[in-house]
Structure formats: structure tokens, C-alpha cells
Chain A
Amino acid sequence: MSKRLLILLALLLIAAMALAACGGGKATQAPAQEKPAAEQKTEQAAPSGGGEECKVVFGAAVSLTGKYAKEGEYVKNGYELYVEEINKAGGIPVGDKKCKVELKIYDDESNADRSAQLVEKLITEDKVTFLLGPYGSGNTFATTAIAEKYKVPMVEANGAATKIFNRGFKYSFAVLSPAPNYLRGIIDMALDKDPNLKTVAIVIENGAFALEVAQGAKDYAEEKGLEVVYFDKYAKAAKDVSSLITAMKSKNPDIVLGAGHLQDTILVMKQSKDLGLSPKVFGFSVGPTSPEFRKALGKDADYVVGAAQWTPELKYQSDDIFGTPQHFTELYKAKYGEIPPYQAAESAAALIAYQKAIEAAGSLDKDKVRDALAALDYDSFYGKLKFNEQGMNVYKPMAVMQNYTDGNLYTVWPKEAAVKEFLYPFVPWDQR
């Protein structure tokens, strides 16, 4: 009986493989995932006396497949760019010697439970020195709890929901501005351009980050005298939001704001075109600022604005390894062939925060570095790195970028950093 079952299983596998093959499998390239096992042979090495080589291992679970695969790729790029640059410079100074930096990244498949499991594995099996964050608030919420449990610091760069930081955790730090602030810049900019705007519609991905973004935007819009005429959620895995678009269109809003991530933002744009929804301003929390947005939508990306934690055009000056946003952009472009999305910059900034804390602590001791992180106040290429007592970076402003009709992305807000004027209004679909 069991033999027959085995044969059955084998047949099943073969059939499924045949299926996969005739589906055009040869077209795919090897996934960008690295085999961490190959590059990492030993566990961490604390800076011990003698001639032993010193090494810092940063571990992270990042989404390399699944819904957040694209954003996760940017995160991984940011981490890797920093590691490459710092190792070129000899490593992170710890006391009187320099420690080489290693990275160990697993794919969490855009799944929070998986992310937490992998972080536990990073701590207990791989014995990494410090932790970096995953992509997204849901995954960060799950993994920071594991970091806290084992008292290993985690500086994260991609979880903006404030609920991550309302649990009294001591070992979690975020370099990015919190979620409720995301869409404020867009509202300010729109009203600055046209004070006669009256109504806002907000569509929301049903997840920790987006819900906070939306609530923050709603409160702020109402404070500014706008009327919120539509405010509703779609499922996290939604592949069809045409019902929400239909409902929004019937309200004829001046501004449409989307709180969500790259893939659902692209979906909202596509179906808005399908159904002819043309407000005067289209703005989103995540999506329009990444190169993938333009690739997916082509000319339909024109005029759309997106919130940005960081842009290549900001005027920060720093003595960190990147120096300025412009230099970071050059290095990133040379390595990855595209303009860096802010997810890459903030991810690299998480490592800068670690570096500065390690330098200040003069040690790789987890608790000493944690204390140094809590006391950190540093101006990086990414902006101010300073944490409040909850671990959030509330000191750094948000910017706005717009997809221009020439196919490029430009910073259009705040005014002092803007390189182009905000193109207004959004040209309706039927007039293009």
C-alpha cells in the first residue's frame, strides 16, 4: 500500500514538473536570493583580544517573493550597498580595530509568521550579532517581538506603523517617519497649489501600516477643512478593487489618496483608468516613488504623486559613508542601474545608525549598543537619525515626489527641496 502511495507521489511530482516546464519556466531567471549558507560559515565573533578576525553579522528576514517582493528587493539592495561600501573602507571601527560586516538575509515570502520564525532562527541558530528589519509594518510588528524576547537590538527601516512602538519595547528602533505622517505632505502641497479643493476620497489596504496612514490622512485633511467623502478598505490580497473605484467615482472627489503598498497602488491606478476615475490629485503612501511604478504603468504613471521618506534630491550633508543623498544615488545607480527608491536609502540608513552606535559604544555588546542607539543623535545622508523613548524617529520630515510627463521622478515638496513645480491638475484619462 505504502509502495503504491510512493509511486503515486512520484508520478504526481513528475506531472507537476511537466506542467511547470510547458508553462514557460525557462524564461525565468534565478531568483535574486542569495544562499546565506554559502557566504556565511561561522557564527559571530565578538571583538576579542589577540589577532582573531573581527566581524559583525547583521541578520534580516526580507520579502524576496510574494506581495512585497519588489519593496523587499529595494531593502536588500540598500543593506547590501552599505555593506559593500563599509567593507571597502575596512569595516566598522570598534574600539581600536575595524570589524568586517556580513549580512545574512532570508526570504520571508511576504508572510509575517514566516518572518518571525526566520528571525528566531537568525538569533538562535545563526547567532547573528544584530538584527535589521524586514519590509512592511505587519512583518516588523511580528519580528520586533522576537528581537525583544531575546534582547537583541533591531534597527528597522521599513515598518512605520506606530503600533509597533506602543508596546514598551526596549530593543526596537525605526529610522523612518511614522505612518500617520505619510500623506500630510501631499495634502499640504495640494492645498498650497489650489486652496479651492474641497473633497478627499481615501482607499485603504487592510493592514497595520495602511490603516494608520489613512487615519492620519483623514484627521489631517479634516483639520485642514477638507471633507472626507469616501473612506474604505480593500483586502490585503485584493486583485480587484473596481467596486471601490466605482463607489469613489460616484462621489466625484477632488483628491484621491491611497494608503497601501506598491502592488495595490498599481492596481488602483489601472482600475481607475478602466473605470474613468479622474480626480485633480492622485496621491499614494507607497508606490509612485519606486521605478517599478513607472515600469508597470508607463504613461499612465504621469502626474501621480507619492510620499517619500527620502529623495535623491534632498540637501542633507553628512560625514557618514555616503555623505549626501546625491552620492548615495550615484553609488546605487552604478550598482543596480536605477534611481534608488527611498526604501533602499532608509535600509542603508538603519546600518548607519548601527555603525554610529557601535562606534559610540566601542563594543559589539548587545546592551551597550542598544543604549548607544537610544542616545543617538546623528545627521546622516538620509536625514536626522534620532529616536524618541519609544524608538521612533519623529524628527525627520516626509517629502513628496511626482511622476513627471518626461518619464522621470522629481521632488516637488517640501518647497525648499523641490526641483520641479508640482504639475497640477491630473489630466483626466479621456483627455490624454
Chain B
Amino acid sequence: MESLQFTQGIVNAILLSGTLTLVAIGFSIVWGILNIINLAHGAFLMVGAYITYWLFTLYGVDPFLSLPISMAIMFLVGYAVQRYLINLVIRAPLLVTFLLTFAMEIVIINLATFFWKGDLRSVTPDYAGLGFTLGNVQIPYVRLAAFIISLILTGLLHVFMTYTKTGNAIRATGMDIDAARLQGVRIPQTYALTYALGTALAAGAGTLISISFPIDPTMGGAYTLRAFVICVLGGLGSIPGVMLGALLFSFIEVFSGIWFPSLKDAIALLVLVLVLIVRPSGIAGKAFYH
């Protein structure tokens, strides 16, 4: 029976890594391109989760169908927030943007607590909890679907960044802002677009998370932290790096949860510290932020 624990753990970790990739990738591009450690990332994720919750509860919208809606809404919000708020201090030292996103996080969480109350809520479509067995390993449909959707979104982002002009402009801005400007890239718009993408990806992750796990206004912090650890593990600036980081992190989280449940969070952060000591640039890729 011990082997069941092992195989089920592997499956759990792989499924989890999909969602965590999505959580971390938005965080990673904002960090890599705008040089902002976006502490409000988890708060946007939470809002995305609540959009799905309300659409489901009030109008019976299937949570998977609400994915584009929550991403589109949060894309616009993200664009506006960067263009008219963060952009005001984008030239200021790192600490100022850090503080600004921290304040945004607090404001959003407090407003959410005020309007929606602090209760735990769940999105419960009929198919929640259903699954199939492979050998003796249990695979819930919802988590499998979340995994596949995460991979598709990650793939789309990769295509966008590599093969479109706008995507290239974003990457160019991240590599050398002055050179990009000389080439005619409009920096403010590019920044806003990048931030909007990051926010939309956070909201998408929030939607997928809300289907498998209970949500509440303070849920985001834990995901911001995970995104941070994954970015450090995987190194900034590469999508495969983030995927690798997320996979590694998921295995650590799942198996420390099986073997030492009370120390789960401590172990995950211990790994972060170790990576920072041994390989500050992350396991894959190299840091290209300043």
C-alpha cells in the first residue's frame, strides 16, 4: 500500500504543477519585464476566483466557461492599474513599486472581505469530486482539466511571446529598454500590456483554483509566495524555467505534505533558501532583471 501513496503523490504533484505554472508565469513576466515584484498578484488571483464563484452561484455559469470572462475582466483591470497607477512610479526605486503593490494587495483584500465577507466558499458544479481510477490511482476530472487548460494557456503565451510582433516588443523591452525604445517600441503601452497579461493569467489561475479548492479573500497571499518561490527556482525570463520550477515545487509540496504534513510550508521555504544560496540565478535559466 505504500506504493499507492507514492504513485498517487506523483499524480497529485503533476496535476498541481499545471495550476502553479499558470500562477507563477504571470508573476514571472511582470517581474522580468517591468522589474516589479507584484505583491498584488495573489489578490488579482483571488478576484478572478470570486468572478467565477459569483458567475456560477448567481447565473449558473459553468466555472470552466467563466475562464475567458474572468481573464478578460482582469486583463482590462490590469491594463488600467498599470497605465494609470503603477506607471506613475515606474521610474522610482524598486522599493516604491514594491510598496505600491503591497498596498494594492491590502486594499483589494480588505474590500473583498468587506463586500463578500471572510467566509470560505466553494464552486460546486455537479461534476466536482468525480474522477476515474488508473490502476489504483485516483484522478479527479476537475484537476485533470485544470492541468490541461493551464498547459494550453502556457503554450499560447509562449507562441504569443515568440511569434508575434507585440510579444517580441515585450521581450525586447525586458532585455534592453533603451534599445527597444530606439526601435520604436512604445514603452508605456508595452508595460501596461505586460501587466495586463500577468493579471489576466492570475485571474485564470484563480478560476481554475476555485473549482478544486475553497476560496476566501485572503487566499491570494499563499499563491504570491508560491509564485515567488517558483520564479526563484525556475529562474526568471523563460517559460520552460517556470514550468520546471512549478513541477519541482509541486513535488516538494506534495511529498512534504505526505511525509511531514505539519512542516509542509517550512520545507518549501527551506528549499527556497537553499536555492538562493547555491544557485542564486535559479535552477534553469539566468536572471535578466537588474
Contact = CB atoms under 8 A, between A and B. Distances in A.
Interface of A: 8, 11-13, 15-20, 22-25, 27-28, 31, 65-67, 69-70, 109-110, 206, 232-235, 237, 239-240, 242-244, 246-247, 249-252, 263, 266-267, 270, 273-276, 296, 298, 300, 430
B111 A17 contact: yes
B73 A20 contact: no
A430 B130 CA distance: 9
Nearest to A22: B73
Given A24-B51, A109-B118, A300-B129, A239 B213 contact: yes
B166 interface: no
Given A18-B77, A243-B264, A246-B12, A23 B120 contact: no
A140 B109 CA distance: 26
| Contact residues on B (Cβ < 8 Å of other chain), bracket | 35 or more
Nearest to A17: B111
Contacts of A16: 104, 107-108, 111
Nearest to B107: A16
A298 B127 CA distance: 13
A13 B214 CA distance: 27
A22 B104 CA distance: 16
Contact of A69 (B54, B117, B213): B117
B115 A20 contact: yes
A15 B81 contact: yes
Contacts of A13: 107
B50 interface: yes
Given A28-B115, A249-B4, A250-B1, A23 B129 contact: no
Given A67-B216, A110-B118, A246-B258, 4 more contacts: A23-B115, A69-B118, A240-B213, A246-B5
B262 interface: yes
Interface of B: 1-2, 4-5, 8-9, 12, 47, 50-51, 54-55, 57-58, 73, 77, 80-81, 84-85, 88-89, 100, 103-104, 107-108, 111-113, 115-120, 122, 124, 128-129, 131, 133, 138, 140, 143, 213-214, 216, 218-219, 222, 253-259, 261-262, 264-265
Contacts of B85: 8, 11-12, 15
Given A16-B108, A16-B111, A25-B115, A247 B77 contact: no
B77 A263 contact: no
A interface: dominant SS: helix
Nearest to A267: B214
Given A27-B58, A239-B213, A251 B1 contact: yes
Nearest to B118: A65
A273 B257 CA distance: 18
Contacts of B140: 274-275
A239 B219 contact: yes
Nearest to A70: B119
Nearest to A33: B117
A243 B107 contact: no
B285 to A, nearest CB: 28
A244 B108 CA distance: 32
A250 B57 contact: no
A20 B109 CA distance: 9
Contact of A242 (B12, B57, B58, B108): B12
A243 B264 CA distance: 10
Nearest to B3: A250
Given A23-B54, A243-B257, A250 B2 contact: yes
Given A23-B54, A25-B116, A27-B58, A244 B81 contact: no
A13 B47 CA distance: 16
Most buried by B among A17, A23, A252, A298: A23
Contacts of B112: 20, 23
Contacts of A296: 122, 124
Contacts of B262: 206, 232-235
Contacts of A251: 1
Contacts of B129: 270, 273-274, 300
A31 B119 CA distance: 11
B277 to A, nearest CB: 26
A263 B214 CA distance: 9
Rank and list the top 6 A-B pairs by shortest CB-CB distance, nearest first. Answer: A243-B257, A24-B54, A65-B118, A250-B5, A66-B118, A16-B107
Contact of B9 (A8, A19, A246): A246
A249 B137 CA distance: 11
Nearest to B53: A24
B115 A263 contact: no
Most buried by B among A67, A246, A247: A246
B8 A22 contact: no
Nearest to B213: A239
Contacts of A244: 257-258, 261
A8 B81 CA distance: 11
B9 to A, nearest CB: 6
B74 to A, nearest CB: 9
A123 to B, nearest CB: 25
B242 to A, nearest CB: 21
Contacts of A240: 213
A266 to B, nearest CB: 8
A249 B47 CA distance: 34
A298 B129 CA distance: 12
A67 B120 contact: yes
A234 B261 CA distance: 6
A243 B9 contact: yes
